[in-house]
Amino acid sequence: MKRVIPLVFPPLHPAQREVVGAAKRFNLLRCGRRWGKTTLLLRLAAQAAAERGQAVGWFAPIYSLLAPAYEELLRRTRPGVVRAAERPQPVIRYVSGGRIEFWSLDSKDVPGRGRAYDLAIIDEAAFAPSLARVWEEAILPTLLDRLGSAWIASTPKGRNAFYELWNLTLDDPAWAHFHEPSHRNPFLSQEELARMAATMTRERYRQEILAEWVDAEGRVFSEDALEAALLLQGPEDPRPGERYAAGVDLARSQDYTAVAVLRLGAQLELVRVERWRGLSYTLTARKVAALLARYEAYAHVDATGVGDAAWEGIRAEWPRVRPIRITGGRDDGRETRSKENLVGRLQSALETQELLLYPHPELLAELRAFEARPLPSGGYAYSAPEGLHDDLVMALALALDAARASRGTGQVLKVPGRWSGLRGGV
């Protein structure tokens, strides 16, 4: 017997229909504002749960974005609803046996933990902190048992993790990629479009309406610089006769410890990047020292805000390390660096191809997201945007600093003529 459950959704508009018609198991929907993303996703969720009795996970970057989706679904599918529960976690259950569970991606809990879904939906995915990790560690596992499918939709936000996920999946036949400017929503009035456009800079218009990838305002490491520097294939094991320098960003409480190792030559070549968290200080020190010893690398270690024991633990096992304290003030040329200078030197080393990289996804994501924000007091604050990390960027900046210092201490480092003398060593 076919159970008929009234679903009060408007018919799809032609662009939405096109997208649904070309859907694959995993779908990335990159749309301009007001294209009809949320309307489409709500309908897909409701159809799966209310009509087909499936289990659906609905994910949003922050809790306040969940409530409207939950209420809209209740409003539109009320006759098919058995039970709706708001606490501790919003869930809608349908007479079909299907359900929709709502998760915010900003909670400490692993969203989707222990669940199996037929369909996972992420709305405004570009605003999720650590989208790549959330997708891989939390959401994808919910889809394995039932060979579930996914829709990941957003308006772009710079070249952040959403951009990364788009690029990483381009050649994967399980993924479909849709790029839809706002204009393709026929229900969007010309006035509304004009009103939105009027308040936007050209760049924002390209991002918000045309759904193009646009460099975020205040971005420090430009796409051109990264492209120029990304010439290597890595990682690379130590080679006999070569010399190495490294940078280490030690974890403070919950964040990551990151290590970057450079090979010293005519250019500085990134040969290894590592990042981890959750180890004790002792184990972290041991792991860092082992990595440095493997490359016999001279290393600069960020000792800001960690106890001396943290970096001394490294030095006990590998003596060629120097603690560096990073401040908002000036360099003293010895053990204190301003963050601005460290970052500025990294920026120009990439732009001039003094420093070459291999495509390490997390490092690239951090470099792309890294921002300079103007301060009310004048000057800039350099860091990752809220919710993202910059430990790999800082490890790389410290590795560059160490490479230059080792040049300064008489260990010869050849730099191509046209760049030599442009920037002083340490």
Ligand X SMILES: Nc1ncnc2c1ncn2[C@@H]1O[C@H](COP(=O)(O)OP(=O)(O)OP(=O)(O)O)[C@@H](O)[C@H]1O
Binding site for Mg ion (CB under 5 A): 37-38
State yes or no: cis peptide before 235, omega within 30 of 0.
Answer: yes
Number of residues engaging ligand X in binding (CB under 6 A) = 16
Is residue 187 at the binding interface for ligand X, with CB under 6 A as the rule? yes
Select from ligand X, Mg ion, none the partner in contact with residue 33, using the beta carbon and a kind-dependent cut-off of 5 to 8 Å: ligand X
Strand partners, 276: 257
CA distance 92 to 389: 35
Using the minimum distance from each CB to ligand X, give the nearer residue, 189 or 411: 189
DSSP for 156-223? -BTBSHHHHHHHHTTT-TTEEEEEE-GGG-TTS-HHHHHHHHHTS-HHHHHHHTT----PPTTBSS-H
Q: Rule CB under 6 A: choose which of 30, 34, 368, 407 binds ligand X.
A: 34
Least spacing, CB of residue 348 vs ligand X, in Å: 38
Establish if 39 lies at the interface with ligand X (CB under 6 A). yes
User: Whose CB is nearest to Mg ion?
Assistant: 38
**Cis-peptide into 129, omega within 30 deg:** no
Q: Are 323 and 287 in contact (CB under 8 A)?
A: no
| Minimum gap (Å) between residue 203 Cβ and ligand X | 17
For residue 38, state whether it binds ligand X (rule: CB under 6 A): yes
CB nearer Mg ion, residue 209 or residue 342: 209
Q: CB of residue 330 vs ligand X: minimum separation in angstroms?
A: 44
243 contact choice in Mg ion, ligand X, none (CB below 5 to 8 Å, kind-dependent): none
Binding positions for ligand X, 2-21, rule CB under 6 A: 10, 12-13, 16
Please give the structure tokens belonging to residue 294: 């493997």
Estimate to the nearest angstrom the gap between the alpha carbon of 110 and the chain centroid. Answer: 17
Among residues 187 and 414, whose Cβ is nearest to ligand X?
187
Query: Which bin fits 296, alpha (ψ -120 to 50), beta or left (φ > 0)?
Result: left
Q: How many helices (H) and strands (E) would you count in the chain? A: 14, 17
Residue 37 found at the interface with ligand X (CB under 6 A)? yes
Among 33, 184, 243, 263, binds ligand X (CB under 6 A): 33
Stretch near ligand X under the rule CB under 6 A, chosen from 27-35, 297-305, 344-352, 409-417:
27-35
The CB-of-11 to ligand X minimum distance in angstroms stands at 6
Torsion sign over Cα 227, 233, 237, 240: negative
In terms of DSSP bridges, do strands 257-264 and 149-154 run parallel, antiparallel, or are they unpaired?
unpaired
Figure out which of the listed residues 54, 155, 267, 406 binds ligand X, where binding follows CB under 6 A. Answer: 155
In this structure, how many other beta carbons lie within 10 angstroms of the beta carbon of residue 83?
10
Using CB under 6 A as the binding rule, whether residue 76 contacts ligand X is answered as no
Alpha helices in 270-334 (DSSP H): 281-295, 308-317
Shortest spacing between CB 164 and ligand X, in angstroms? 21
The DSSP-derived string for 79-98 is GGEEEEE-SSS-EEEETTS-
- Minimum CB separation of residue 356 from ligand X in Å reads 39
Q: Is 272 in the site for ligand X (CB under 6 A)?
A: no
Contacts for 316 with CB less than 8 Å, ≥ 6 apart: 285, 289
- Give the phi and the psi of residue 301 in degrees, each rounded to 5: -115, 130
Query: Going residue by residue from 115 to 154, which x/- string records binding to ligand X, judged by CB under 6 A?
Result: ----------------------------------------
Return the number of the residue (37 or 93) whose C-beta is nearest Mg ion.
37
Residue 31, interface with ligand X (CB under 6 A)? yes
Residues 6+ apart with CB under 8 A from 7: 43, 46, 47, 50, 51, 76, 77, 80
27 binds ligand X (CB under 6 A): no
Which residues partner with 355 through β-bridges? 268
- Secondary structure of residue 230 in the 3-state scheme: coil
**Least distance (Å) between residue 49 CB and ligand X:** 18
Q: How many CA atoms lie within 13 A of 148 on its CB side?
A: 24
Binding partner at 404 among Mg ion, ligand X, none, C-beta below 5 to 8 Å by kind: none
**Residue 377 CB contacts under 8 Å (≥ 6 apart), including other chains:** none
CB of 134 to Mg ion, least distance (A): 19
* Closest distance of CB 17 from ligand X, Å: 9
Q: Smallest distance from the beta carbon of 31 to ligand X, in angstroms?
A: 6
The residue among 27 and 39 lying less far from ligand X, judged by its C-beta, is 39
Which of 27, 185, 352, 406 forms a contact with ligand X (CB under 6 A)? 185
Residues that bind ligand X in the complex, under the rule CB under 6 A = 10, 12-13, 16, 31, 33-39, 155, 185, 187-188
